[in-house]
Amino acid sequence: MKLNLSGKINKIYVQSLCMMFYHGVKFPENEENTDGLELTVNVSEHKNAVHCTAFLKSGDKEVSKEAKCEFTEEESADRTYKIAIGQAVYMACACITGRSSGYGILTGIRPSKVVAALLESHTEKETRDILLNRYLLSCDKADLCIEVAKNETAILKRTDDGKCSIYISIPFCPSRCNYCSFISYAGKKLFSLIPSYLDKLNCDIRKTFDTVKKCGLTVSCIYIGGGTPTILDPSQLENMLSTVGKCIDTSTLDEYTLEGGRPDTITDEKLLIAKRYGITRISVNPQTLNDTVLEKIGRRHTVEDFLTAYEKVKRSGIDCINTDLIAGLDYDDFESFKSTVDRIIELDPHNVTVHSFCVKNAAQIRSDDKDIYEKNNDTARSSVDYSIKALLEKGYIPYYMYRQKNTVDNSENVGYAKEGAFGLYNVYMMSDAHTVFGIGAGATTKLVKHRDGKEEIKRIFSKKYPYEYLKAEEDEEQEIISFFERS
């Protein structure tokens, strides 16, 4: 797409708006425009308002849209510009493509953060009006964002700079799912690394708890994620959990999650160990309850395997069960996903997380397959809409949300919980609410501190792949302690 921008315009913002309608569109700087798309945007200030015109040409179709946004006292001038530009570009793209996005001109990954900020100075009704009329959200998405923002805000009050969480990474999986881009090793040869990986991991777990103590922080949540942590055999799992248990009295934690994930790795013996060492929350994920789709996406487990694993988890007495679903998966359709949601609701888990299928470059299903969006857009939209309606009707509370780039239909990922069963780590992590120490390959440590009312964040990245992690010798303790000591 060729862009001609004149006035105070953030090019990246305009590009991200266009990408919601034209997946994978490129914006060549000097090269000839080859896709027949040309967008001209003009913005200027006139009589206390920002005026914007967007003129879009697509082959032989042309459309021109205008937006005018008045400056207001509570909104920064930059934001007023952004809204006027967003409205004009959004309306032009929507008109030519015949598509819409429930999130209107909100292109960011955390729409509920924008909404939480609005709720600080507006009533719920005023916020809803702003979302509908200025940000062009659909009624359903505006209501969802408001609900999530209120719940997130309440959860965030439970933490502060004195608390932290710990993420432990187990980047191994029984097989590679074709939609997934998480760093994870699958295959017999790579599994031979697990014993030495765990030796180093256990050593780093001890070091990290030591650092946490030196920094004077209290651990709120521990999240063992992946990959598939339950791929470990019972003795390996016990060894890792007992290492954690020697570092902290796990009964003092607000939440202790084990991401089981793949049903084909969950056994009664592992669950018994998990419960004994204080795990309070566990995920067992079907993604979809459709055997044909499960086979096509390379999950290598059946619906029956999921139901059996779910029953085992339920019997284990672990307090909180989460199930992850993906809406709009390749090969899935609305009726199949609707039945997945209905059957999951019947199982009555404490948490349900509904992801929207996202096409990732590092996955086997890649973003260069442009048809993938066209094929799955409508399924994703109707599936997500159904999941919202069905889960809300059954009393599930939406408490966290985020969006990703390259999601079919620009939809969102939403975490739902029963009253009192919110997944705290997810909210703290997503909102940068407190420090998170990441241990293991691919994990990120995020140091968070507020100084003079300003949030300061520093990220330290572990080596990405297990074989690199095994060789790494970095010791960041001094760097971490200095971050907290600095006034």
Ligand X SMILES: C[S@@+](CC[C@H](N)C(=O)[O-])C[C@H]1O[C@@H](n2cnc3c(N)ncnc32)[C@H](O)[C@@H]1O
Q: Which residues bind ligand SF4 (CB under 6 A)?
A: 173, 176-177, 180, 182, 184, 226-228, 261-262
**Candidate residues 127, 228, 288, 316; the one interacting with ligand X per rule CB under 6 A:** 228
Footprint of ligand X on 61-90 (CB under 6 A): none
Query: What is the number of helices (H) and of strands (E) in the chain?
Result: 16, 15
Site string for ligand X, 173-202 (x = CB under 6 A): x-----xx-x--------------------
Tell me the residue type at 83: I
For residue 360, the partner it binds in ligand SF4, ligand X, none, with Cβ less than 5 to 8 A by kind, is ligand X
Using the minimum distance from each CB to ligand SF4, give the nearer residue, 101 or 288: 288
User: Which has the closest alpha carbon to 190: 472, 474, 470?
Assistant: 470
Q: Which stretch binds ligand X (CB under 6 A): 126-134, 196-204, 254-262, 333-341?
A: 254-262
For residue 221, the partner it binds in ligand SF4, ligand X, none, with Cβ less than 5 to 8 A by kind, is none
B/e letters for 397-431, b = 16+ CB within 10 Å, e = fewer, are: bbbbbbbeebbbbbbbbbbbbbeebbbbbbbbbbb
**Contact in structure between 306 and 288 (CB atoms under 8 Å):** no
Using the minimum distance from each CB to ligand SF4, give the nearer residue, 110 or 355: 355
For residue 176, the partner it binds in ligand X, ligand SF4, none, with Cβ less than 5 to 8 A by kind, is ligand SF4
Site string for ligand X, 154-173 (x = CB under 6 A): -------------------x
Cis peptide before 227 (omega within 30 of 0): yes
Measured from each CB, the residue nearest to ligand X is 261
Footprint of ligand X on 312-331 (CB under 6 A): 324, 326
3-state helix, strand, coil in the chain (%, to 5): 45, 25, 35
User: Which has the closest alpha carbon to 328: 372, 262, 284?
Assistant: 372
**Helix residue ranges, H only, 98-233:** 111-121, 124-133, 139-156, 188-191, 194-214
SS3 31: coil
**Contact in structure between 276 and 301 (CB atoms under 8 Å):** no
Measured CA to CA, the distance from residue 146 to residue 149 in angstroms comes to 5
Per CB under 6 A, does 111 bind ligand X?
no
Q: Please state the closest distance from residue 231 (CB atom) to ligand SF4, in A.
A: 9
Using the minimum distance from each CB to ligand X, give the nearer residue, 292 or 364: 364
What residue ranges bind ligand X (CB under 6 A)?
A: 173, 179-180, 182, 226-228, 259, 261-262, 285, 287, 324, 326, 355, 357-358, 360, 363
